[in-house]
Structure 1
């Protein structure tokens, strides 16, 4: 089995150690792991934290990306809130609109909730109430716990959520990964699952992140994290075959120097580019990935290969296997920039049908050369629509449970039988003022559970939503969905 140096994030000593597929990033300067001191949680705290929570490292935002104007962002939030409130109808009748809005970028305040809905994780959570808590309470298999524990500090050590050893981020990451090994004991733990779970935890609580991870492993990328990594090797061959159509020049070059796809695409695909691209580009890719499925991962890989190796001029500097691998380890920033990459990915003509057609072709070739696949993974679902069609949810599964409670003051006016209002006397008003306690906080902190008297009646709630346009937005951002930790 080939051995790839640390720069690409994969180091295989033998077939038994293949599952440690993303363990060796620490030695490369462009790696997101940084120095030993940073690996141990002692990042430079003097560095200013960016809006995504990074305090340094290659994925910290330099502020060159223009922010969306607030009024546009509010409009997008309102549109997404409307979609989430009637998700089944939108997915059934207006899926193209959902897809377009994912391509434009999901509003940061709603990204976690949208990912959960798109992936089907919300439905899984509702249909398995208490499952995560049950798994979380179990001790777990010691053979996996030790490996998971060692991997915790390697996941985004420049992010404020994971910088501290034993901090809440690392604790939740441990819980999610341990729960998955108990949920799928036959599959266990693969190191490439850790960055996937970490990205999810940046946007949602541990239980939601667990179900998001389940959906990615079982629906979007089935077989990727199983022993032997057969699925990822098969997808590597699919990527290489598709590259011949997209960029014949790049395809000939890689073939000429016998550069196996597994050498450059393993970390890209297994980590869904979360350790490769600038963070703003990661989020945009994931928005589209959750909506459209694995074709987005293929498209990103094809775009990067085409940009880096797609012309004779570019190939002059990499006449050899080593030089080519070095080039692919340090992709030019301009090709990974958000606006450029998103546009290229959207415009690239590569459909689910193309991928599945090539998948069948490569599967036949695999059986001729390797025999039957050892891992029998479920069929891959190409995006949110396919997942929903395969497991139709009930309206209850999609129901949102907002927890913001607004106290409506009791009226000080009484109505007579004839409907005429009678005003209280000044004395009564003074007495009422003395005896009335301050109204309860309409936006209680997490430690202050809402009182029963705080709950609005349906008519009052409807009135508020009608009169105040931002009411829906405010309720959603503090709902039980816990959109984001950031």
Structure 2
């Protein structure tokens, strides 16, 4: 935290470390990216994500557009409402039916469906909206969705099979013995990792883990999501090599829960993230 404050203060030519004065939007983009690669403090995360995605500039260029989209009709409203109670139900912010975070979640998803009636509301969008709303106001979340996240989702809607094939090739390249073991067991790892990719690890992984992934994703793009998937699989390579088909299925399904239960394990996977950085 102190490094962020000192470096940002230096970038804007101020001799202060006050959090408000050291607003990341005032500092050099290169400095922000360098710092973000190694983790963004919670107090700055929402602001930096907006900066890195271009959402801040887009929002300022269209100051009343979000309110207009909120007032428009959208054919996806029924599907959005059905997903509200399924989105992070254990998180206090989204736990109260028809109130609090659920209202904001509906607003953002509805506004996007009105903004882009061709795409509307797609699988996994509720979890992306939820992660954003935990860090920023609803209008800001909408513009981050518009500027970066939905572009990725639209790509996956058409090219998920291609990205899963890339992941399979990465497994072959990085862990050939594990790739061979999967083949011998008749196991297709891509069927169990599509959920990871579609929600950018937002569906069931620990929030702090997901935040850390997104910090770098906003800089490196979707390629980094594939790299994180490989890092997770490599962390469990020793276990997976000794398992049968059914046991492999159970372990992969249990990985998010294990990261919840074992913070040290999540830390170990996070250390692998650093190896992915240039």
Q: Where on the TM-score scale, by shorter chain, does this alignment land: which range? A: 0.7 to 0.9
Which structure ranks higher in relative contact order (CA pairs < 8 Å, sequence separation ≥ 6)?
1
Corresponding residue for residue 81 of structure 2: 149
1:174 and 2:106 correspond: yes
How many Å apart are 1:98 and its aligned residue?
Answer: 3.2
1:84 paired residue among 15, 25, 33:
25
Paired residues, what number? 264
1:98 and 2:32 correspond: yes
Corresponding residue for residue 291 of structure 1: 219
Counterpart Cα distance in 2 of 1:164 and 1:138: 25
Corresponding residue for residue 414 of structure 1: none
Structure 1: runs of 5 or more not aligned: 1-67, 352-486
How many Å apart are 1:215 and its aligned residue?
Answer: 2.3
Corresponding residue for residue 323 of structure 1: 247
How many Å apart are 1:76 and its aligned residue?
Answer: 6.3
2:57 paired residue among 102, 111, 123:
123
Distance 1:276 1:248, change over 3 A: farther
Distance 1:336 1:251, change over 3 A: farther
Distance 1:276 1:164, change over 3 A: closer
- Structure with the bigger percentage of helix: 2
Counterpart Cα distance in 2 of 1:98 and 1:292: 13
For residues 381-396 of structure 1, what are the structure 2 equivalents within 5 Å? none
Structure 2: runs of 5 or more not aligned: 12-21
How many Å apart are 1:137 and its aligned residue?
Answer: 0.6
1:265 and 2:217 correspond: no
Aligned Cα RMSD in Å? 2.5
2:275 paired residue among 347, 362, 373:
347
How many Å apart are 1:117 and its aligned residue?
Answer: 0.6
How many Å apart are 1:155 and its aligned residue?
Answer: 0.9
Structure exhibiting the larger radius of gyration computed from Cα positions: 1
TM-score (norm 1): 0.50
How many Å apart are 1:182 and its aligned residue?
Answer: 1.4
Corresponding residue for residue 229 of structure 2: 301
Distance 1:347 1:162, change over 3 A: same
Counterpart Cα distance in 2 of 1:347 and 1:277: 20
TM-score (norm 2): 0.85
Q: What's the CA shift string for 1:50-77, capped at 9, x where partnerless?
A: xxxxxxxxxxxxxxxxxx6xx5575467
